[in-house]
Amino acid sequence: MSTPTLVMLKSDQPRGQLMDASQPLIMIEDQGLTRGDGVFETMLAANRKVRKFPAHYARLASSARLLDLPLPSQEGLQAALDLALEAADPGPQTLLGEEHTVKIIISRGTPHEGPHSWVTVSGSPASILKQREEGVKALLLPRGHDPAQDSAYPWLLAGAKTLSYAVNMSVLRHVRSQGADDAIWVTEDRRILEGATSSVIMARFEGDKKVLYTPEPSHGILPGTTQGAIFAGARKAGWELGYGPLYPQDLLQADALWLASSVRLLAPVTHLNGTPLAQDRALTQELMGYLAQG
Ligand code: PLP
């Protein structure tokens, strides 16, 4: 894998400075590293332009506020992103054009130097592009507790996109050991939450109504920018929108089910707990169209 293009932001470099990512740049006591104490955004750039940047910036601002971390200005961050994207190695060509995965990280930094942020850009991984085409096999797995209960306690950081993704990565290793690709979390009472790194979207045709459903985004799960953009476009196109609650039986009876996130876009769920699900390629294209408007 090639080294990502890196731009670091500092108080005296608010628009960022291009750095050599193959060099040691993070201190061993950086608390983003030692405690997962920081926030991030993962975004998709098509033809070297970040898609839905305002939505990502708004979520980054909300995450930073919850963790009491300083937020780079939108203008400074945009300049840093432009600098990194201009310098990046070529990315894969897809229907969207040239694709790159872009990350923004704000770390607590060292106790001595304090918080800092950086931006990385690398070509979108082939494994993710494949999921758009071939779909994913998903397993329903318990979340252990209902994250909606965390919402009342700001120190539990519900809805913040923190660097502490060890559990999200662990569940992916677990599903892969079971021959599946992804996980969908459920509460103890079997209510659907979200994927390990994605939002759940379901389509259902109810008489002459067409309805898109997703679990209520403000109830302890991450509000997905991809789900938000798709729902905004779908509403304009006459879809009705529903926000759950959804249960396993709803997903099994769906007319189509997807995992949605910024780099994956829409991955159709082909199997749920081993049961084949209905597939609708035309519908996936339709929803991709709404996403392109966002
Ligand atoms: N939920 C979780 C837990 C995620 O990690 C992600 C993205 O990484 C999403 C949902 C989807 O968010 P977005 O569509 O903004 O990429």
* Model pLDDT for residues 202-215, shown as the tens digit of each residue: 999 999 999 999 99
Residue nearest to atom 9 of ligand 1 (CA): 198
Instruction: With cut-offs at 50, 70 and 90, classify the pLDDT of residue 138.
Output: very high
- In this prediction, residues 108-124 reach a mean pLDDT of 96
Residue 231 predicted with pLDDT over 80: yes
What is the average per-residue pLDDT within 123-140? 95
Question: Measured from the CB, is residue 225 less than 6 Å from ligand 1?
Answer: yes
Q: Which CATH number fits domain 5-123: 3.30.420.40, 1.10.357.10, 3.65.10.10, 3.30.470.10?
A: 3.30.470.10
Per-residue confidence (pLDDT) for residue 145, from 0 to 100: 86
Which residue's CA is the closest to the ligand 1 atom numbered 2?
197
> Which pLDDT score, from 0 to 100, does residue 33 have?
97
Which residue among 51, 128, 199 is best mutated to probe the pocket of ligand 1, counting the most ligand atoms within 8 A of its Cβ? 199
Q: Token pair of 261, please? A: 């996130």
Residue 1 binned pLDDT confidence (cut-offs 50, 70, 90): low
Distance in angstroms (rounded) separating the CA atoms of residues 294 and 292 = 5
Q: Where in the chain is the domain with CATH 3.30.470.10?
A: 5-123
Q: What is the mean pLDDT of residues 181-196?
A: 96
Is the beta carbon of 194 within 6 A of some atom in ligand 1?
yes
CA 208 – ligand 1 centroid, Å: 31
The string of pLDDT tens digits covering residues 27-66 is: 999 999 999 999 999 999 999 999 999 999 999 999 999 9
Over 80: is that where the pLDDT of 100 sits? yes
CA 58 to centroid of ligand 1, rounded, Å: 14
Q: Which residues belong to CATH 3.20.10.10 in the chain?
A: 130-292
SS3 245: coil
63 lines ligand 1 (CB under 6 A): no
Q: What is the pTM of this model?
A: 0.96
Does residue 78 surpass a pLDDT of 90? yes
For residue 261, report the distance from its CA to the centre of ligand 1, in Å: 5
Q: What homologous superfamily is domain 130-292 in, according to CATH?
A: D-amino Acid Aminotransferase, subunit A, domain 2 (3.20.10.10)
| Nearest Cα residue to 277 out of 237, 249, 241 | 249
DSSP letters of 41-81?
EEEEEETTEETTHHHHHHHHHHHHHHHT-----HHHHHHHH
Per-residue pLDDT for 248 more than 70?
Answer: yes
147 within ligand 1 shell (Cβ under 6 A): no
Give mean pLDDT, residues 253-262.
Answer: 98
- Does residue 5 have a pLDDT over 90? yes
Q: What is the pLDDT of residue 217?
A: 81
Q: How far is the CA of 63 from the centre of ligand 1 (A)?
A: 13
**Which own/partner contact pairs does 9-12 have at CB distance under 8 Å and 24+ positions apart?**
9/72, 9/76, 9/77, 9/80, 9/116, 9/117, 9/118, 9/119, 10/116
